[in-house]
Amino acid sequence: MDHLIKIISKPDNIPIVLMLGLTVFYTWFSMRKARRNDLQDISEEAKLSDKVQVWPYLVKVEFLAALLIMAILTIWSVGLDAPLEQPANPALTPNPSKAPWYFLGLQEILVYFDPWIAGVVLPTLIIVGLCAIPYIDINPKGNGYYTFKERPFAILTFMFGFLVLWVSLIVLGTFFRGPGWNIFMPWQEWDTHLVVALTNIDWSEWLPFHQPTRLVDGTLNPYAMLIGSVTVIGWYSLGVIYYFWKRKSDLMQKLGILRYSIVAFLFLTMMAVPVKVLLRIAFNIKYILVTPWFNI
Amino acid sequence: MIGLIDQMKEKMRRTDVYKSIFRHSYEDTQRNRALQIVDNVFLHLHPVRVTRHATNVGFTWGMGGITFLLFIVLTITGVILMFYYRPAAEYAYDDMKFLMNDVAFGPLMRNMHRWGAHAMVITVMLHMFRVFLTGSYKAPRQFNWVIGVILLTLTLFLSFTGYLLPWDQLAIWAVTVGTNMARATPLLGHEGPFGPELGMKINNDVRFVLLGGTQVGPPTLLRFYVLHCIFLPLVATILMVVHFWRVRKDGGISGPDTTTKKF
Ligand code: HEM
């Protein structure tokens, strides 16, 4: 219990508690608004579509908000000092070494993917994917008011990415990861000597295949590579199969092949993350595909 | 007494000095309320009139505005911190100690800067969440969303580069962990796919460029300082100007299209 209080009240962890509270609140708050709108013919926002003067109606709100935020920030800053630890020492690596909290989701994914994916490709795809959203979401409905019913796929996908893959992984990385990047419950004392035996195997070595990644002479087993490549290509061909299944549908016609390909690629890449996490947890799978240049 | 004060106020409003500063009279009229906005360089970011739901905190959560407010607070406290801080490995940590122990209001400035930075990362994420949930990235606001995504990235980089400056254990190791990824950049990192094939080594790859060395050291401190205090805030400011201007040009805060039947 002491450890729980210690870890939650660590100055640099307070923002994460704050973020968690605010995201939960705003998710509930916005979905309540969406539900209310979805049950009516006309949205609450549309009922307020008359014009008011900015002075005083908007300036007043801004002023009060600024006052409130400044008050909170001042109290926070008077009450709690920013951390200043021992001077930098390149020879003394702390255990665990954690990135700043907003990158902990990515650091968490590093457990399941090699750095070139977790540290470079995925962040790039997050940024590119976010930029692409307005151009691939061609549903004209739900512009300027809260709704769920009119765009369930968009909202569920975004929430999965933001709430599960971003916010929850940050919370996991902050409160549940201890020395050696091992999982500790937040109330559990950190044991710096804990060694968790890793018995990871690669996808091709797993029961149904039984193909070792490397042959006895140390070279890569071509059959293992084949199994891996087929799996990766198979995963992305789900998007192709879905295309041919739904080709005639209205939505697919409107989307067009280019937009659809981008949506399918981004969606399948995002979903590959939880799938690999599950494979690791359930079957200790380390790599799906091992090549001389990179591993997936 | 009250009468006297009123009389003096009245007199003051008629002086040349007053009239040269405030270009309109004081009565609470529609016209003066409009002039109050357009005659003020800061307030005229706003239109004179907005739809009622745009003033509703429940709609915007005020998150974009709060993000901007925090950015201003960070600029002011940041400039004050710069008076006391030298970005060289032999001084940086001692300057922080001095600031925390011996400078009047030093801890308050540093704390506001640090907690404000954390808060800004949170509010910018929530702002994006709100904009998504109200579908405000849809036509005609697509490009402003893209500018927003760049602002989000800049906010994270600002926070990340600032994290190194105290030059304590927390700082260098968090930045070491964060920049280690760059080794594995495909093509451009010495441990990334096809990096070695392209001639990447530990002392010429993209991480080396970022750190100014093979590990987080004094050149990294200077690099991050310049990025943190000059380059990134400058770019962020320019993009914020564009962001706000586009909010106006795209027709103000998004709202339901009341010209169609179901909305
Ligand atoms: C430094 C960061 C940012 C600042 C200071 C900022 C500021 C603002 C402000 C003051 C508004 C007016 C409405 C409101 O308060 O919600 C706004 C609107 C908007 N922002 Fe941002 N923003 C930032 C980042 C972002 C990000 C990360 C995104 C999306 C990825 C974004 C997309 C938008 C869009 C599309 C609008 C128009 C919303 C509407 O019309 O309802 N902004 N922004």
Q: Using pLDDT thresholds of 50, 70 and 90, give the confidence band for residue A40.
A: very high
pLDDT at B261: 47
Q: Tokens 């070139």 label which residue?
A: A116
Tell me the per-residue pLDDT of A122-136, one tens digit each, with 9 for 90 and over. Answer: 999 999 999 999 999
C-alpha B35/C-alpha B45 separation (Å) is 13
| DSSP secondary structure, B55-113, as one string | G-HHHHTTHHHHHHHHHHHHHHHHHHHHTT---STTTHHHHHHHHHHHSTTHHHHHHHH
- DSSP-assigned letter for residue A87: B
pLDDT at B263: 46
* A219 in reach of chain B (CB within 8 A): no
B64: Cβ below 6 Å to ligand 1?
A: yes
C-alpha A143/C-alpha A150 separation (Å) is 10
Which structure tokens are listed for B62? 């005020």
The percentage of chain A sitting over the pLDDT mark of 70, rounded to a whole number, equals 100
Higher pLDDT, A282 or A163: A163
B254: Cβ below 6 Å to ligand 1?
A: yes
Domain ranges of chain B: 59-249
Distance A202 CA to ligand 1 centre (A): 44
Q: Using pLDDT thresholds of 50, 70 and 90, give the confidence band for residue A169.
A: very high
Distance between A142 CA and the closest CA of chain B, angstroms = 6
User: What's the pTM?
Assistant: 0.94
Q: Given an 8 Å threshold on Cβ–Cβ distance, is A145 in contact with B134? A: yes
Instruction: For this complex, say whether ipTM is above 0.90.
Output: yes
Give the closest residue to A20 by CA, choosing from A166, A186, A179: A166
Residue B245: how many CB atoms within 10 A of its CB?
13
CA dist B223 → B4, B226, B228 (Å)? 61, 5, 8
Q: Given an 8 Å threshold on Cβ–Cβ distance, is A54 in contact with B47? A: yes
Higher pLDDT, A88 or A9: A88
What value does the mean pLDDT of chain A take?
92
C-alpha B194/C-alpha B197 separation (Å) is 5
Residue of B126, B243, B253 to test ligand 1 pocket, by largest number of atoms within 8 Å of CB: B243
pLDDT at B260: 58
CA dist B152 → A35, B67, B73, B106, B247 (Å)? 29, 10, 17, 29, 16
Alpha carbon nearest to ligand 1 atom 27, residue? B148
For residue A101, is pLDDT > 60?
yes
Distance between B250 CA and the closest CA of chain A, angstroms = 12
Mean pLDDT of A248-263: 94
Using a CB-CB distance cutoff of 8 angstroms, which residues of chain A are in contact with residue B48?
53-54
pLDDT at B223: 97
Local confidence pLDDT in tens for the 263 residues of chain B: 788 998 998 898 889 998 888 888 888 899 999 998 888 888 888 999 999 999 999 999 999 999 999 999 999 999 999 999 999 999 999 999 999 999 999 999 999 999 999 999 999 999 999 999 999 999 999 999 999 999 999 999 999 999 999 999 999 999 999 998 889 999 999 988 998 889 898 888 999 999 999 999 999 999 999 999 999 999 999 999 999 999 999 999 999 987 654 44
Give the closest residue to B3 by CA, choosing from A210, B11, B65: B11
The CATH code for residues B59-249 is: 1.20.810.10
